[in-house]
Amino acid sequence: MTIKVSLTLNGVAVSHEIEPRETLADVIRERCNLTATHLGCEHGACGACTVDVDGKATRACLYLAVQADGRNVTTLEGLADDPVTIVLKRHFHEGHALQCGFCTPGMLVMARDILARHTAPDAATIRKELSGQICRCTGYANIVAAIEAAGRAITTGT
């Protein structure tokens, strides 16, 4: 049995016939060929699959695609021209906040979500908010510093 799911993905209306058990991550990667949404643990613990669903950071590996029917979903690809994401990418690059890059797409989507909810957050707030994102390479110090710097830059307009 399949179900038709229609959603807006990165500003584009898409529809697919899917099996009810398929996750949003599966549909994004396998049916829509968008690969920034990474599958790490497939248990919602690592955050590599984080996407935005109707303005909220969401674990795409735990979110059934049928739940996304009629919703707006944004992946890192859809944030390419987003001003906040551009500032975050610059600070991640300049602050050496990435190494292997596997966690980076989910980390950037989550960082954008943090900055949407907290104006210029401090390191403690960022660490708390990132608690569901796993990076096995960096030790988080540079990631936290990059998000903090991006928040300051956005607040001051620099």
pTM: 0.95
DSSP letter for each residue of 36-53: SS--SSSSSSS-TTEEEE
CATH fold match for the domains 3-76 and 81-156 = no
What is the residue extent of each domain of the chain? Answer: 3-76, 81-156
pLDDT in tens, the chain (158 residues): 999 999 999 999 999 999 999 999 999 999 999 999 999 999 989 999 999 999 999 999 999 999 999 999 999 999 999 999 999 999 999 999 998 999 999 999 999 999 999 989 999 999 999 999 999 888 899 999 999 999 999 999 88
Architecture of domain 81-156: Orthogonal Bundle (1.10)
Fold held by 3-76:
Ubiquitin-like (UB roll) (3.10.20)
pLDDT of residue 133: 95
CA 55/CA 82 separation, integer angstroms: 13
